[in-house]
Structure 1
Amino acid sequence: MASARSSGSSAPPPSLSELIYANIRREIIQGRLRPGQRLVELTLAKRFGVSQAPVREALRRLSQEGLAVSEPRRGTRIRQLTLREIEEIYHVRAELEAYAARRFTARSSPASEQALKRAFASLARASRAANQTAMLDQDVALHEAIVLGSQSTVLHETWLGVIARWRGMRAIVASQWPQEPASHLATHEPIVESLMAGDTATAGHRVRSHLEQAFVELRDYLTAVDPADRVYID
């Protein structure tokens, strides 16, 4: 398996395990690998033309991000989600980020406000390009700017654990819930406005409502799919 070459950058090329991880993750997002499907080290090693060591590392990373589950004597498989789990992830995010938004307005600085503006501008560029992967990445970056602006190390560390679970879940359901770029961006604009205005109550309310509504929309999409094609289990 050929490794990618760096062009015009001092960054090292991705390792074999990173390339294998990226390939498998992309296939999960595209729906080509389905929840519950086994990921066999030997089969993947033959497919990519590598030893089992980089495959094992790629599967470990997928498990850390909640995209896969490894079990003794049963190997690794794509994670199967439940609606209850998805709902809990969104509601925990809503609680943490509403708190972060309130702290942001009380502790904002020129640096945190500039970071928030840059994150929103990056999300706008990704939305204009209708790049679903970039939209997801910049969405997370915008929400992290809010959490970092709260100036709470404990909150940020807790949020990182939850967002890792959210990203894994979001990747698994991506094939059934593409984001409409214009509306996706529009849902974030009022949040940024209230944060920049220092409106504590409104900022917290808007962040919470944004995430709770996102869950409702996702639930409606997932449950409307034919049962044989659903990416979750009851």
Structure 2
Amino acid sequence: MSSVQVPDASEVPPSLSEQIYASLRQEIVEGQLRPGHRLVELTIAKRFGVSQAPVREALRRLSQEGLAVNEPRRGTRIRQLTLREIEEIYEVRAELEAYAARRFVTASSAASAKALKRAYSGLARASRSANQAAMLEQDVALHQSIVLGAQSTVLHETWLGVIGRWRGMRAIVASQWPQDPAGHLASHDPIVENLLAGDSEAAERCVRTHLEQAFTELSAYLTAVDPEDRVYVEQR
């Protein structure tokens, strides 16, 4: 009996919807597609030379990630954020991840410690390369290792929803918030050190400080931009 060769995942070409999604997402990250910009299925389909079906799927993925919003009778637009919404995302993350830090220490397993160290090494490599996209991915991986180390399914599922909103927000503001690689890595040092040392109170405090400072830095960048170039709108 002949066996069926299963292609390696890296060899499988991306689908049309994935290609369109990746292209539109990159344009959002680079600031070419601005918040409030209307994403018209037919126009995008003509641009890529495809039917509207893969475009519809690409827009659905953008909406799931929080990059776009579908409004009745108005179609799909790039999400418009307010500073208050951005602040709330950080506040909720801080509460969840502070709780995760406490539980991480309480659960205290060798596997969790190993995963945390591995995630930190990944962030260090990305920081040395000064690749902003890689830094973002490894940043999320490190924080996820803390949440997973807390060994709470409810916490992890709740955090995934919030981090999804955060990733969408982060992509929208990417063009106006370049992060210093060395400083970004260093801001995680006290979190990792205290978690591995088993100091739950210090770890929780460091997590809160890290996220509060991140919002403060982001807010300073966004508000310093000329009003006509800002990627957020005033409080609605």
Provide TM-score, normalisation by structure 1: 0.95
Q: Which residue pairs with 1:105 in the alignment?
A: 105
Amino acid at match of 1:65: E
Amino acid at match of 1:32: Q
5 Å matches for 1:50-69? 50-69=50-69
Q: Which residue pairs with 1:122 in the alignment?
A: 122
Once residues 8 and 139 of structure 2 are traced to their aligned partners in structure 1, the CA distance between those partners, rounded to angstroms, is 25
Provide TM-score, normalisation by structure 2: 0.94
Q: Which residue pairs with 2:34 in the alignment?
A: 34
Once residues 172 and 80 of structure 1 are traced to their aligned partners in structure 2, the CA distance between those partners, rounded to angstroms, is 9
Amino acid at match of 2:197: A
Residue 115 of structure 1: SS of its match in structure 2? helix
Deviations 1:36-73 (A, max 9, x none): 00111111111111111000000001001110011122
CA RMSD of aligned residues (A): 1.0
Once residues 64 and 144 of structure 2 are traced to their aligned partners in structure 1, the CA distance between those partners, rounded to angstroms, is 19
Once residues 71 and 118 of structure 2 are traced to their aligned partners in structure 1, the CA distance between those partners, rounded to angstroms, is 41
Amino acid at match of 1:128: R
Once residues 110 and 15 of structure 2 are traced to their aligned partners in structure 1, the CA distance between those partners, rounded to angstroms, is 38
Unaligned runs of 5+ in 2: 1-6
Once residues 91 and 30 of structure 2 are traced to their aligned partners in structure 1, the CA distance between those partners, rounded to angstroms, is 26
Amino acid at match of 2:162: V
Once residues 17 and 108 of structure 2 are traced to their aligned partners in structure 1, the CA distance between those partners, rounded to angstroms, is 40
Q: Which residue pairs with 1:173 in the alignment?
A: 173
Unaligned runs of 5+ in 1: 1-7
Q: Which residue pairs with 1:164 in the alignment?
A: 164
Residue 188 of structure 2: SS of its match in structure 1? helix
Once residues 29 and 108 of structure 1 are traced to their aligned partners in structure 2, the CA distance between those partners, rounded to angstroms, is 38
**Distance change (3 Å), C-alpha of 1:111 and 1:43:** same
5 Å matches for 1:16-95? 16-95=16-95
Determine whether 1:140 maps to 2:123: no
Once residues 113 and 48 of structure 1 are traced to their aligned partners in structure 2, the CA distance between those partners, rounded to angstroms, is 46
Aligned residues: 227
Once residues 81 and 180 of structure 2 are traced to their aligned partners in structure 1, the CA distance between those partners, rounded to angstroms, is 23
Amino acid at match of 1:88: E
Q: Which residue pairs with 2:225 in the alignment?
A: 225
Deviations 1:62-87 (A, max 9, x none): 00111001112211010000000000
4+ long deviations beyond 2 Å:
8-13
Measured after TM superposition, the shift of residue 101 of structure 1 is 0.5
Residue 43 of structure 2: SS of its match in structure 1? helix
Amino acid at match of 1:73: R
Once residues 134 and 51 of structure 1 are traced to their aligned partners in structure 2, the CA distance between those partners, rounded to angstroms, is 32
State the identity %: 78
Measured after TM superposition, the shift of residue 144 of structure 1 is 0.3
Q: Which residue pairs with 1:210 in the alignment?
A: 210
Once residues 28 and 196 of structure 2 are traced to their aligned partners in structure 1, the CA distance between those partners, rounded to angstroms, is 37
Amino acid at match of 2:151: Q
